[in-house]
Amino acid sequence: MEIRELSVPGAWEFTPRQFGDDRGVFLESFKASEFEKAVGRPFDLRQVNVSTSAAGVLRGIHYTQNPPGQAKYVTCVRGAFLDVVVDLRPTSPTFGRWDAVVIDDENRRSVYLSEGLGHALLSLEDGSTVTYLCSLEYTPEFDGEIDAFDPAIGIEWPTVGRDGRPLTFNRSPKDAAAPLLADLNRTR
């Protein structure tokens, strides 16, 4: 497995080795020993989520108040997404920095983000499906969101899908009404 730390400290990209033959492909999507070596601690799995999205669906920027925070290990099992990580840790020297990785059903990369980081996904084709391994069960009172189009963050969202057709962004009403980064309570 190839492991690369992203430019946002506390976030990593995991690219598995794939073994294919005429029957299909096998890979290790998550391996605790490799994860722990890279991240420096075990992953405490508490919940697994699956989400399927049409092309242009933009989910996020979502975060969980820290503490307790929620770490995520995100893998695309079908289709393609742009996976975006944003540093939302109030005292971090990289507060507001973002990085992105294309995760898809070809390279089968995964992204890990530590507690305190924000997360957004843009589906790059219809029927794209992602799984999230989560370190905290869903706890709505800890959830928050930041506007994915906040110019202070400046995420460069693609406007064309994996098939070359233009993307029309589709967000939930809650995500569309999300506050700006400047409105985030940095004393949390």
Compute the distance between CA of residue 159 and CA of residue 75 in angstroms, rounded to an integer. Answer: 22
Whether 112 contacts 15, CB under 8 Å: no
From 62, 63, 112, 119, the catalytic residue: 62
Compute the distance between CA of residue 139 and CA of residue 123 in angstroms, rounded to an integer. Answer: 25
Whether 114 contacts 11, CB under 8 Å: yes
Compute the distance between CA of residue 182 and CA of residue 84 in angstroms, rounded to an integer. Answer: 19
Whether 62 is catalytic: yes
Whether 73 is catalytic: no
From 63, 73, 112, 132, the catalytic residue: 132
Q: Which helix (H) or strand (E) holds 33?
A: helix 32-39
* Catalytic residue set: 62, 132
